[in-house]
Structure 1
Amino acid sequence: MFLQSLKEICEMDLKAYLPCKKPRRSNRLGVKGKEETQEETIQQEPLGFFDTLPLELKFRVLGYLTVEDLSLLTITSKGMRNLVEGYCVLHPVLQKGYICRLHSYKGTQPVLPIKSETEALNTFRKLGLLMKRSTCLYATRDRLKFLNDVLTKMMCCNSAHLCDNSSRCIAMKCFGKLLHTVLAGWDDSECQRAYDAICQHTCILKTVKNIVGSKPGTNVKLEHEERLFLRRVFLDSCPSHQDKAFWLSRILKSWPLVHQARLLFLLYGPVLNEVTNLFQNCSGCYCKIIADEVLWYELCENTPSSSTQSEEHFGELANALKNLHNYKQEWTEDDIISVIDELTSSPDDWLAENVAHLLILCGDSVTSKMLISKAINGRMIELASITTSFCVVCVKNSFSMSYVINMIQNIILVMDSVKDRQIFFNNVMDMFKELIIDIHEFEDQDDEHGSDMYYMVSSLVEFTKRLAQMAFKDMLT
């Protein structure tokens, strides 16, 4: 009996009779587990821990960052890019008040909240980086729409007040910097689309058509405005000569040859600063409004009076022609020669000295091709006139006469007959004689004529010296 009772006791479930006791567990471990789970969940969010902040606080944090920092954030993740884009929509980086300070009102210099124009351009370079990075996944059409929106805000005609002096206005310079920053690395076909979109948005091709289709100098203000717009938006901010040649080709290639030469002169020909108006500002002082007029007939009637003026007249034209000559994808040597021929005869024939000076600045390659072309076509009188002008330009600007001798040697090499060579040399000396006689006949007490005679005689002397040295080289060495 006792054994049976003991057996029953052993088989009993004692837990059923004892009070239930909660298993011992640390609260710290439980909290830690929850934190780890929550941390893993947060890390899987697009913005990580930054995503736990409310949207208003996120924007408040972004407000303390620079434009450059914002542009770097846009390439970290898609979520961050969307956040920066949303911030820029509600808090535009390009404020309207800042744009207004880029324009010039009542002939005054633009009042910028920065120290110099260079800093303004650097600011728009950073804005361009922000736009480039934040729209890198967008279609080209959408990216061009953003560019046109910025252009609309920055154009002088859309400013809050009338921008009355486009020469001092730097708004288009800044947009050009932004444009080339955004387009850096784009394919040529995409850049062509960008050019077409901007031209269509601004209707500039219609304006250019009116300019090239009318008499030069008919509308001075319109010519000046189009010159500044095309240069500041498409050309002046180009980072390399190759890029400048590409954009210059975009401007020129859609027009016939005669209009290409006209446009090239419009963009890079000499200009004259003149006072067009006087006004009294708020302090009672009279200020001048300056307008730049393209000197269409200057090179047809006058020659530069100094080396500085020569650089102003021909420097940019020569650099543009050299850039086009080196851009072999779209321009052949025959194209460049044709453009120079048309350029130096528009609107009237240039003076021979001006043609010679332009060719010298264009470099040996362009000059040789130009002169050889004239020699092959039998244009001896033109060759003689340019050769004498080469001598005058070299004397005036202290260039070496070796340049002229080398050009003459290149010309002679392409002349097959001895008779043609003799005719060429005779024409050169006859041209010197005619020019000296003409200067003597029109000579008066004015110093200008005296200097012309001096340079002409000096050119003849220096040229003759070099020919004598070449003729008697064996006897003189």
Structure 2
Amino acid sequence: MRKKSTTILRKRTPSGQLKGSPRRTQPPRRTVVTRSQGGLRGGMLSRLPREVFDMILDRMTVVEMGIFCMASKEINRYIMDYVSSQPWKNTMIIRNFHNSTTQENTSTIQHYRELSMLFKRCTLLLPTKERLRFVLNKFAEIPCFSVDQCLAPGCIGFSSYGSFLQNLISGWDELECHRVFNYLCDMTNLPKKVQLVTAGKPGARWHEELQVRLFCREVLLDTWSGQLDRQLWLTMFLTPWPIVSQARLLFILYGPLHPGGTLGWQDLVDRELPQYALVDLARAIYLLFGQLEFKDGTKNLLLAILEELIVVPQPWHVENIARLLVLCGNSVCYGILASKAINRRLQETTKIIVYIILVCEKDSFHMSWAVKLVEQICMVFSTDTEKHFFIQQLENTFSQVTREVFEHCAAGNDLSRETFLSLRILLDSSAHFHTKFLQMLLK
């Protein structure tokens, strides 16, 4: 007799599994190793001997190493140790800066630009002070980067250092740039050099003047293409010093330079200098003040600096003062002359204007610009009587300057062709100015 099969009903658990059935084991989940986890620690590179990893880095260019250091923190840390080793510094940082060919010089400067990107990337996670300490200390022992050690002519050390620094801090904010400047000052002892050249007699320490000029221009100033960047660094350099020192520093940085390396302090006193000799100085003044509104504080600062500048080492030849103001542009030139006119220094103001007219004739500037300048200065006077007195004073100064030139020629029996040419240019400038001036009045 067939037995009846019995069906056992099993209850299910809340998860859906039958109660009393054997528990199924879940297959192990696959894990994904991220890029940061696959670095030196626990990754393939961690199993390499240090010597082998060094050999890999030895094969890399500076650009490739800069990209590789961003793969992980472990690799970044290892590369920072690697570039701190003395063999690598001897090979990659210390270069010959006294090359003879333009191609070699260009290659050296390009190499330092690439070095800057490597150091910028591998120190990306460090605070600013630690970044500067790590990077700039590696260059402190190079003689060609020091303010007062390299004496070789044609050295491109400062140019290479400037390209490196500019590329390193490109994009940093103003506060970080101040920290860079202060760190450089402490590392190079630059303030002491500035103190020496500004406290003594102009030209007495010509060698230190040249060193300060080359270091500041090629490392800090001329490497920047943007005016705002150059203005920031020039302002940082000048601001800590008193007005007298600021005026001297402007001349040391941008004044006319002789082929032998000495500054032309006395040239501005003894004779008229051509336009090219004063262009750099005028551009620096325009960089500082040319695009600012001439409020009382700005006008007084500019006037104070120029007053100190044009009497060092002695009062300049008036034509050099006039040429400098013309090259500085309308806003600076008008600001200076208007301030003098308001302060009743009319004789000084009109003499500079006469020489400005002479400079416009000599250097082929439009005479209508000089006429417009005189018209603007007339507007600073509140009454017609003051305006008429100013114009009368200007005409008297024209006559006085003409007599001085003629008497100088007659007294010394100097009847050379250059003397007659100067007198002719002065008379021509007077005629052209008055023609334009009358045309303006007749309109």
Matches within 5 A, 1:1-400: 44-46=37-39, 48-90=43-85, 94-95=89-90, 99-103=94-98, 110-111=99-100, 115-156=103-144, 163-165=150-152, 167-274=153-260, 292-304=261-273, 309-311=274-276, 313-325=277-289, 332-400=298-366
Q: Give the secondary structure class of the aligned counterpart of 1:153.
A: coil
> Given the superposition, is the C-alpha separation of residues 52 and 442 from structure 1 closer, same or farther in structure 2, using an over 3 Å criterion?
same
Counterpart CA distance in 2 for 1:417 and 1:272 is: 48
- Name the stretch that deviates more: 261-270 or 204-213: 204-213
Counterpart CA distance in 2 for 1:440 and 1:63 is: 76
CA contact 1:42–1:49 (8 Å) conserved in 2: no
Counterpart CA distance in 2 for 1:402 and 1:41 is: 72
TM-score by length of 2: 0.84
> Given the superposition, is the C-alpha separation of residues 422 and 190 from structure 1 closer, same or farther in structure 2, using an over 3 Å criterion?
same
- TM-superposed CA distance for 1:425, in Å, is 1.6
- TM-superposed CA distance for 1:384, in Å, is 0.8
TM-score by length of 1: 0.78
Q: Give the secondary structure class of the aligned counterpart of 2:374.
A: helix
Q: Cα RMSD (Å) of the superposition?
A: 2.9
Flag structure 1 segments of 5+ consecutive residues without an equivalent.
1-32, 104-109, 275-291
Q: Give the secondary structure class of the aligned counterpart of 1:332.
A: helix
Counterpart CA distance in 2 for 1:128 and 1:349 is: 46
- TM-superposed CA distance for 1:46, in Å, is 1.8
- TM-superposed CA distance for 1:154, in Å, is 2.4
1:445 aligns with 2:425: no
Q: Deviations over 1:433-467 (max 9, x none)?
A: 22222222222133332221121111111112112
- TM-superposed CA distance for 1:135, in Å, is 0.9
Task: Quote the residue 1:419 is aligned against.
Answer: 385
- TM-superposed CA distance for 1:96, in Å, is 5.9
Task: Quote the residue 1:10 is aligned against.
Answer: none
Q: Give the secondary structure class of the aligned counterpart of 1:262.
A: helix
CA contact 1:102–1:111 (8 Å) conserved in 2: no
Q: Give the secondary structure class of the aligned counterpart of 1:272.
A: coil
Q: Which has the larger radius of gyration?
A: 1
Q: Deviations over 1:76-104 (max 9, x none)?
A: 3212212322332347555369735114x
Q: Percent of counterpart pairs with the same letter?
A: 30
- TM-superposed CA distance for 1:383, in Å, is 1.6
CA contact 1:227–1:266 (8 Å) conserved in 2: yes
- Name the stretch that deviates more: 239-248 or 421-430: 421-430
Q: Deviations over 1:44-64 (max 9, x none)?
A: 422554444433232222222
CA contact 2:289–2:302 (8 Å) conserved in 1: yes
Task: Quote the residue 2:22 is aligned against.
Answer: none
Q: Give the secondary structure class of the aligned counterpart of 1:372.
A: helix
CA contact 1:245–1:327 (8 Å) conserved in 2: no
Counterpart CA distance in 1 for 2:255 and 2:173 is: 31
Letter in structure 1 aligned against 2:134 = F
CA contact 2:272–2:320 (8 Å) conserved in 1: yes
Counterpart CA distance in 1 for 2:284 and 2:434 is: 34
- TM-superposed CA distance for 1:386, in Å, is 1.4
Q: Give the secondary structure class of the aligned counterpart of 2:59.
A: coil
